[in-house]
Structure 1
Amino acid sequence: MQYFQLFARNALYLILLIGYSLSLTSCAKKVSFITSGVVPAAQGYIKISEDDNHNYTVDVNIKRLAEPSRLNPPKETYVVWMETKRNGTKNLGRLNSSSGFFSSSLQALLHAVTPFKPERVFVTAENQSNIQTPGSQVVLTTKEFH
């Protein structure tokens, strides 16, 4: 009987510890882009998750995004940006295709890690990817999220 009580108490502690650990790890938040007036066929989403060091992983996945050279005016690349509450707008990087730049499936991806908490994510068409401020040609955007 004593062994059973000891086992039951240890099992309860283990269950509570596992539950507490799971509550500390953030679940990934999936947010869809709003339908674009610039590239209406484009559809995509972002996934954001926070790690144990309070960094944020941002994964962008977009399908049917036209080549930037087909836009009016034509551009060279797409850049992903995030707005933060306290740190302004940050360049997350250039969208990449899974098999060559904008393959026949027109799928574009980006994986980025940032110490800043994203409030909104958007994509612009640009002539360079290493710029510090976004241009005016916004192609896709999300609503604000928290």
Structure 2
Amino acid sequence: MDQQRNIGFIIVFLLFISCTANTRFPVSATVPAAEITAVRKKDKNQNYVVEIKAKYLAEASRLQPPKNNYCVWIVTTDGITKNIGQLSVSNIKKTELKAVTPFEFNEVFITAEDRGDVTYPSGVEISRTRFKK
């Protein structure tokens, strides 16, 4: 009985971690002190949940040239680039973004932009990463 319960627990655990992908962004030449990670997983509605966590990310206004905010983008499996939100840097030690999207994607990147509601990246690219398939 205990062995069956343990096997059941292991199967559920493996299913859970198989739906979650983690990745680290490479060191950025623009903000080299930043440590940025991304997590992608599916929710119960089959949407993708994206969690971006950044430590030591300088305020966008301190960049050269100065910008107003950081935008987070995904590249869908169809090759379409979508803005999924902004990273607000009010506490230089840590900032987070959690967004939900119906689009399947394997690539995430961050740009510094003048406005947060842009539909196509035009600012300085901070860093880019891909999830392993």
Q: Specify if TM > 0.5.
A: yes
Q: 1:138 aligns with which of 111, 119, 125?
A: 125
Structure 1, unaligned runs of 5 or more: 1-7
Q: Aligned runs of 1:117-132 on 2, under 5 Å? A: 117-132=104-119
Tell me how far 1:144 sits from its aligned partner.
5.1
The answer to whether the Cα contact below 8 Å between 1:55 and 1:116 also exists between their aligned partners in 2 is: yes
One-letter code of the match for 2:40? I
One-letter code of the match for 1:76? N
Cα distance between partner residues in 2 of 1:143 and 1:113: 18
Show the counterpart of 1:64: 56
Tell me how far 1:27 sits from its aligned partner.
3.6
Q: Aligned runs of 1:26-105 on 2, under 5 Å? A: 26-86=18-78, 88-97=80-89, 101=90, 103-105=91-93
Cα distance between partner residues in 2 of 1:112 and 1:92: 6
* Helix, strand or coil at the partner of 1:80: strand
Which string of whole-angstrom CA distances, capped at 9 and with x for unpartnered residues, describes residues 14-52 of structure 1? 778766655554442110001101111111100111123
Cα pair distance change 1:21/1:114, threshold 3 Å: same
Tell me how far 1:108 sits from its aligned partner.
1.7
- TM-score computed with the length of structure 2 as normaliser: 0.84
Tell me how far 1:87 sits from its aligned partner.
5.4
Show the counterpart of 1:4: none
Identity of aligned residues (%): 35
Structure 2, unaligned runs of 5 or more: none
* Helix, strand or coil at the partner of 2:40: strand
Cα distance between partner residues in 2 of 1:136 and 1:34: 18
Tell me how far 1:140 sits from its aligned partner.
1.6
Cα distance between partner residues in 2 of 1:138 and 1:30: 21
Cα distance between partner residues in 1 of 2:107 and 2:92: 29
Asked which structure has the greater CA Rg, the reply is: 1
After the TM superposition, which segments of 4 or more aligned residues of structure 1 sit over 3 Å from their partners? 14-27
